Every structure is written in structure tokens, then in C-alpha cells.
């Protein structure tokens, strides 16, 4: 039995008629960039996330780039983040000229560890005399970029406490976590709206996927939102007058129209992913595999949140990761490794001076984690087969 990591076909077939109708309408309008579809989708995202402002952009990567540029983070600044994430997170920090500072992850959740952020600050930073922080190289620490990896929120209460105390902006990388919830400051909040700004990616394989590249920034402050709208059009306002340097970060009408059709289904897709995760857990428990593979942590389930996890990925860990992956591949079960090498060890970041052993939990996760097939429509038969083959491997 062939089990793909992700199969988008069924979802498309169910929505093909309304999606095609929207595409036809955009073609008939001949308005392709930043028009009524983008505005309507931005409004829908505001309603969905309870975000005061949403700004449609060309991708998740460009979302972070735009936020960093709008906040004037650049040369002489440093931004704290995780090395266990997709490249874009740190790539954007470096592209604006700032230094990415990598701290280690929590080994249960794979998300940035607030204790590690705290440790970095205690061991490497001093007050800049103005309520903020400077590191040993004299760079000003400007922001923290927590990444809600695999669809699970970071510990935002603890991160918020640090950011408040040290005057740091929090920019949430919610590229993988649209809809994920966290009990923040005593209230249920969705990923992306707990910091100064947050962003989503609508890359086709994301839980809410476009038919190409697309992204969205959400933020609370009206001034920042206005600046971001100008930033996504080369810092231009009015036409052909440029206040500051921005980029072409525009979202197009076709993508917005498609995403608008899909968004009302997101909650049911997230629930279906969670049911699939529950089924994996039952199967692995029944087959007595839980002492051989570590299942995804669900730290917020006890708090009664609906979207305590949205399972963008279902990631297990085992010291025999590579052998297991090969065994499953031979049985036509597709898996993936997110991510095989921490960003602190990537060649392009060698100038930052990190070495192997600097982030032990990141490095261990890079060696041991394996993403199993998960998507809303995955059949129980397929999941049972995956569990059966994993059990057979460990026999």
C-alpha cells in the first residue's frame, strides 16, 4: 500500500467548483494584484484570528522580511530565534543585515526554549542604558522570533515575560501554525496574534495552502500595519514617491480568492488532522511502541483548547530514525525529515561562529525526528499500515 506524506487531491476535488468560479471571476475582472479579493481575504483572516490588522503578502518569507524592514531592524541589531526551523526564519534576519542568534529548543515540543533565551540573555547581554539589551559584540537585541513548529504554539507566556522585561519585539513565525491556540494571558489566543506581529505561509503544502506562493502578516498596532502596507509596495506612498526602502511583497488576487474559499474549511481540516493524530497515538500505544518512539507532545491539551495542536506535521523521534525511514520507504510509506541540519551548522551561517555541540537538543532533534504521513483525509487503513510497518521494524 502506498502512503504519501501529503495528498492534496481530495481536498481540491471537494472544492474544485467554487475555486474555479473564483478564478474565472478574477480573470473576468482583469484585476490581478492587491484588489478586492486580497482585501476580503485580509478581513477574513482578521475575523478568524481575532487580529486587528492583516496584510496580505507574497509569501511567508516576504512576510518576515517586510516586518523586519518595517521595524527598521538591520545592521548593528541581533534577533533571537531557533535553529530548528525552516531556513527562511533566519535567512530573513540575515538578509536585513541583522545577526541571527540561535538558542536551543525544548526537547519535548521542538519549539524554542524560553529558558534557553533567558540563559543567552543572562550570559551574553548587558543593559544598553536605555532599558534594552546589547550583546557582547555590541549589537542591540531587537526581537525574538519564536517559531510555532509543526503546528504547536511556543510557550508564549514565558516568552512574553522576557520580551516585556527586555524591551524586545516578538515576531511570531506561525508559517506552520495557522489556527493553533494557546492560553495566553488568561485568554485563548491564536498563533500569530500574541506578539507585535505574526505571519502565516500559504505555501501549497501548508494547512491552508494557496495554488502558489502567498503569505499574511497580522499585527495589533495600526501604525505598524500602515507601514507594512507601504513596505509591501517598495515603501511607495504616494505613487512613485518612496518614503523608505521596501520590496515587492504583494499578494495577488487569484491566490487570495482561492484562499478565501478554503479558509471556512480550515477548522474542520484541523480537527481531522487531530483525529488522525489521536488514531496514530492509539495504534502506537496498542502496539506497545511508545517506549521505542517518542510521540508528539500535547502540552496544552489539558488546558481545554480546541486547536491545542493543528498537526501541520506529525513528528516522532527515535535513535533509529534513518533505518526506520529506509524501512518505511521500501514499503512505500513516504516520510520526511524536518530538519536534517540545524541552521547554526549551515554553511551559509558559518560566519556566525557556531560549532557542533553548541545546541545539543537542536542537533539531537535533527538526528532523531521523522515526520509521518498526515493530512485531513488520510484513511485509518493507511495509518494502520504505517503503525503496523513501524511495529514490524522494531520487532
Ligand X SMILES: Cc1ncc(COP(=O)(O)O)c(C=O)c1O
Binding footprint of ligand X on the chain (CB under 6 A): 59-61, 85-86, 88-89, 147, 173, 175-176, 201, 203, 213, 215
109 vs 201, beta carbon nearer ligand X: 201
The span from the CA of 20 to the CA of 3, in Å, is 28
200 backbone dihedrals φ, ψ, rounded to 5°: -120, 150
88 vs 105, beta carbon nearer ligand X: 88
Give the C-alpha distances (Å, rounded to integers) separating 25 from 49, 164, 236: 27, 46, 29
Supply the minimum distance, in Å, between the C-beta of residue 266 and ligand X: 16
Residue spans of alpha helices (H) in the chain: 9-29, 36-49, 60-70, 88-95, 114-124, 156-166, 222-231, 253-262, 266-286, 321-330, 360-368, 380-394
Supply the minimum distance, in Å, between the C-beta of residue 206 and ligand X: 7
Supply the minimum distance, in Å, between the C-beta of residue 395 and ligand X: 35
Supply the minimum distance, in Å, between the C-beta of residue 57 and ligand X: 9
Chain centroid to Cα 91, Å, comes to 14
Supply the minimum distance, in Å, between the C-beta of residue 154 and ligand X: 12
Chain centroid to Cα 188, Å, comes to 19
Beta bridge partners of 184: 187
Cβ 67 vs Cβ 199: under 8 Å: yes
Q: Residue 343 CB: number of other CB atoms within 10 A? A: 26
88 vs 144, beta carbon nearer ligand X: 88
Supply the minimum distance, in Å, between the C-beta of residue 200 and ligand X: 8
Select from 223, 202, 224 the least CA-distant residue to 66. 224
Select from 232, 249, 227 the least CA-distant residue to 71. 227
37 vs 85, beta carbon nearer ligand X: 85
Residue nearest to ligand X (CB): 60
111 vs 307, beta carbon nearer ligand X: 111
89 vs 335, beta carbon nearer ligand X: 89
114 vs 209, beta carbon nearer ligand X: 209
Element (H, E) at 101: strand 99-103
Supply the minimum distance, in Å, between the C-beta of residue 147 and ligand X: 5
195 vs 215, beta carbon nearer ligand X: 215
The span from the CA of 179 to the CA of 189, in Å, is 9
Largest CA distance in the chain: 68
Q: Residue 234 CB: number of other CB atoms within 10 A? A: 17
Supply the minimum distance, in Å, between the C-beta of residue 203 and ligand X: 4
Amino acid at each position: 500500500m502506498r502512503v504519501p506524506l501529503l495528498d492534496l487531491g481530495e481536498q481540491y476535488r471537494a472544492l474544485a467548483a467554487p475555486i474555479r468560479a473564483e478564478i474565472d471571476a478574477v480573470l473576468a475582472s482583469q484585476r490581478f494584484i492587491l484588489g478586492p479579493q486580497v482585501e476580503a481575504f485580509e478581513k477574513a483572516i482578521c475575523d478568524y484570528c481575532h487580529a486587528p490588522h492583516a496584510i496580505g503578502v507574497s509569501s511567508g518569507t516576504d512576510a518576515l522580511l517586510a516586518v523586519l524592514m518595517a521595524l527598521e531592524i538591520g545592521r548593528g541589531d541581533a534577533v533571537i530565534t531557533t535553529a530548528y526551523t525552516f531556513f527562511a526564519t533566519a535567512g530573513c534576519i540575515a538578509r536585513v543585515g541583522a545577526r541571527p542568534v540561535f538558542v536551543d529548543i525544548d526537547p519535548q515540543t521542538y519549539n524554542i526554549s524560553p529558558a534557553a533565551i533567558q540563559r543567552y540573555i543572562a550570559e551574553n547581554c548587558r543593559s544598553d542604558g536605555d532599558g534594552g539589551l546589547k550583546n557582547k559584540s555590541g549589537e542591540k537585541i531587537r526581537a525574538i522570533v519564536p517559531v510555532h513548529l509543526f503546528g504547536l504554539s511556543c510557550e508564549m507566556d514565558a516568552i512574553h515575560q522576557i520580551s516585556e522585561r527586555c524591551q524586545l519585539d516578538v515576531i511570531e513565525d506561525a508559517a506552520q501554525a495557522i489556527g493553533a491556540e494557546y492560553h495566553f494571558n488568561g485568554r485563548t489566543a491564536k498563533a500569530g496574534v500574541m506578539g507585535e506581529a505574526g505571519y502565516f505561509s500559504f505555501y501549497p503544502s501548508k494547512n491552508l495552502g494557496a495554488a502558489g506562493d502567498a503569505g499574511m502578516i497580522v499585527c495589533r498596532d495600526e501604525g505598524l500595519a500602515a507601514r507594512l502596507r507601504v513596505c509591501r509596495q517598495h515603501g511607495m506612498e504616494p505613487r512613485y514617491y518612496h518614503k523608505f526602502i521596501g520590496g515587492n511583497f504583494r499578494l495577488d488576487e487569484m491566490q487570495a480568492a482561492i484562499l478565501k474559499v478554503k479558509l471556512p474549511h480550515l477548522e474542520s481540516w484541523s480537527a481531522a488532522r487531530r483525529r488522525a493524530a489521536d488514531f496514530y497515538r492509539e495504534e502506537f500505544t496498542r502496539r506497545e511502541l511508545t517506549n521505542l518512539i517518542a510521540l508528539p507532545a500535547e502540552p496544552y491539551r489539558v488546558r481545554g483548547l480546541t486547536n491545542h495542536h493543528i498537526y501541520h506535521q506529525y513528528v516522532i523521534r527515535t535513535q533509529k530514525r534513518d533505518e526506520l525511514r529506509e524501512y518505511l520507504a521500501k514499503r512505500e510509506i513516504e516520510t520526511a525529515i524536518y530538519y536534517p541540519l540545524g541552521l547554526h551548522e549551515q554553511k551559509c551561517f558559518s560566519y556566525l561562529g557556531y560549532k557542533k555541540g553548541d545546541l545539543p537538543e537542536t542537533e539531537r532533534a535533527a538526528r532523531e525526528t521523522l515526520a509521518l504521513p498526515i493530512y485531513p483525509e488520510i484513511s485509518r487503513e493507511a495509518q494502520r499500515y504505517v503503525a503496523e510497518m513501524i511495529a514490524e521494524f522494531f520487532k
